[in-house]
C-alpha cells in the first residue's frame, strides 16, 4: 500500500463523526511530495460539516500550497467511496485533473482521474 493511502487511512482515525458514524480520511499530495491530511468534521446542523477532502485542500491552501498531484480518500465501505459533489467541485477548482485514489481499511483500492469523476465541471472559464 502506498504511503498516501496509508496517510488517508490514518487521517480517518481522527474523524469527528458522532452523528453519521461515517469516518472519512483524505491525504492530498502536493507537487513537491508533501502530504496534507484531513478528516471529516461533523456539526449538529450537518450543513456546517466539512468533508475530509475539503479539510485537506483548505489546510494545504492555508499553508500556501497551490499545486497538487493526487489525493487518497479512505472510508470503511465495501464499495469504495468517491468524493461527494461539493468535494468534487473544490478538488476541480483547486487541484484540477488530479489522480483520485480510493481505499478502504481492508486494502481494496481504485484509482480514477477527476475528469472521470466530474465530467463537464463548472469552473472560472464559464464566468
Q: Among residues 3, 29, 42, 53, which one is catalytic? A: 53
CA–CA distances in Å: residue 88 to residues 26, 67, 113, 118: 13, 16, 11, 7
- C-alpha 68/C-alpha 27 separation (Å) is 11
For the chain, how big is the Rg over CA atoms in Å? 14
Of 82, 33, 90, 22, give the one whose Cα is nearest residue 56.
Answer: 90
Active site residue 53: yes
Using left for φ > 0, alpha for ψ between -120 and 50, and beta otherwise, residue 57 falls in alpha
- The residues carrying an active-site annotation are 53
Amino acid at each position: 500500500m502506498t504511503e498516501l493511502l496509508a496517510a488517508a487511512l490514518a487521517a480517518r482515525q481522527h474523524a469527528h463523526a458522532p452523528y453519521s458514524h461515517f469516518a472519512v480520511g483524505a491525504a492530498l499530495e502536493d507537487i513537491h511530495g508533501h502530504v496534507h491530511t484531513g478528516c471529516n468534521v461533523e456539526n449538529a446542523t450537518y450543513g456546517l460539516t466539512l468533508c475530509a477532502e475539503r479539510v485537506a485542500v483548505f489546510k494545504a491552501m492555508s499553508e500556501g500550497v497551490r499545486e497538487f498531484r493526487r489525493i487518497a480518500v479512505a472510508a470503511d465501505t465495501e464499495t469504495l467511496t468517491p468524493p461527494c459533489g461539493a468535494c468534487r467541485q473544490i478538488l476541480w477548482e483547486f487541484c484540477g485533473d488530479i489522480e483520485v485514489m480510493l481505499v478502504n481499511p481492508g486494502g481494496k483500492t481504485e484509482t480514477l482521474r477527476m475528469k472521470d469523476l466530474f465530467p463537464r465541471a463548472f469552473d472560472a472559464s464559464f464566468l
